[in-house]
Amino acid sequence: MTHPKFMKFIDKGYLQWIREKPSIVSGYPPPSDPHHLFNTGKKGKRNDYLAIPLTREDYTEIHTIGHDTFEEKHCIDLMAEAFNLLSRYINDKECT
């Protein structure tokens, strides 16, 4: 089975839902910038279900210092947050 980070899943509805969430780091209110935890380039595979909401400042910081340093600095597990968000999204969809 292909690892989830290498699978291509594009869901514009999910990315819009992410934009409407507060930043997972600061809690700053939306709109947020979706940050894909894994991406293989502009034309490469991306998995929208592994996106998290960040402020523009956090988005810039994570690209500057890298995921590991960002996680340590903010005491956060980005993958766990991505799965938590996806779970909430699925639950929201089932309840509507």
**pLDDT score of 43:** 61
Write out residues in the chain with pLDDT < 70, as ranges: 1-7, 39-45, 96
CB 52 within 8 A of CB 35: yes
Q: Distance (Å, rounded) from C-alpha 62 to C-alpha 88?
A: 24
**pLDDT score of 14:** 96
**pLDDT score of 35:** 93
CB 78 within 8 A of CB 47: no
Q: Distance (Å, rounded) from C-alpha 11 to C-alpha 5?
A: 15
**pLDDT score of 71:** 96
**pLDDT score of 11:** 92
